[in-house]
Chain A
Amino acid sequence: MFESHVVRIYRRNEEKPGEVAGLVESIGNEKKLPFKNYAGLVSIMRELIYKDEIHDTVVPLREAGKDSKKKSNAL
């Protein structure tokens, strides 16, 4: 089964290419996720695409960094 997401760009800054504001809409639910730059957009897409893996597997993606830190501290 495939998923559809719509990315709407509402503002682009010609002088600062990294600045872009918009929304990601997931088809099939009412969810609308805002972003203010490309990093935010990538983060949203990563969460949406890998959400099953995030919830089904051990470590949520966002917290992966924290966990590895804990591990290294423990060592």
Chain B
Amino acid sequence: MSEVLVLVDEIDGEVKKVTFELLTAAREIGEPAAVVVAAPGTAAKVKESLAAYGAAKVYVAESDDVANYLVTPKVDVLANLVGAKSPAAVLIPATAEGKEIAGRLAVRTGSGLLIEAIGVESSGGDVVGVQSIFGGAFTVKAKSTRGTPVVTVRPGGVEAVQAQGAAAEETVEVPAVDAAKATTVTGREPVVGGDRPELTEASIVVSGGRGVGSAEKFEVVEKLADALGAAVGASRAAVDSGYYPAQFQVGQTGKTVSPQLYVALGISGAIQHRAGMQTSKTIVAVNKDAEAPIFEIADFGVVGDLFAVAPRLTDEVAKRKG
């Protein structure tokens, strides 16, 4: 069975959930080989969890250059591995950085780039990427016609399933950086993640819309989110009105999420918003307006005042969790 390279997404030795999703997807089409391109000492920290999700191999490319230059060291390592190992495909998380790595890798290796896949399949010897486009209005299956398919996989697109892998280590080189073409990283200010999960990685998302009415009142959305262990999202209308910061916007011009449960509070459900959340497994909506389009796609809807319904739900959830 041929190898499928999976670029490991980690922060300070802590593996991001999307990596496990990619390892799970990789098992559908071949033998997962995790690629760690990171600061020295990282592989030792992440190896065990990679093995737990079925990594048969772990390619270790460690160098201080990885943190000092933007994107290109990871492209260099993957390009060398594509040349040396002829993998069936390369799977990369569809994050801001991942999309850039994938794009450059496709250019450099002359390969087809399949973006934002929600799954991969093997069909007649080809690797097929399954994509959900225009906010879930179409499901598209596509393949690369040349080179090694480079696939970016959307966080939350695949459900991570554990499987034991050997995680056999092999050290590979991080090629020297060409300073004229490279971008130097002179400093970093990581987002201080609160206690809430990341929007695109969360299995439950609670979002507020125009109906929330003010920035202060968004507290009612946050309280329900915290009771459920959920991420907080906002509609474009809420963001444009200044109720909530733009990085939490769900919709066509914001983030696309597909959690197990999406709770929409005071959101009318314009196409713009639905495009970012309608692939959620279960949708619950609360809105005063019985005609709100959000009810057309909600599995469970309550016509009522969110300020009455949400706090009650928050209490019920808290009670159940004890």
- Do A and B make up one complex? no
Interface residues of B (CB under 8 A from A): none
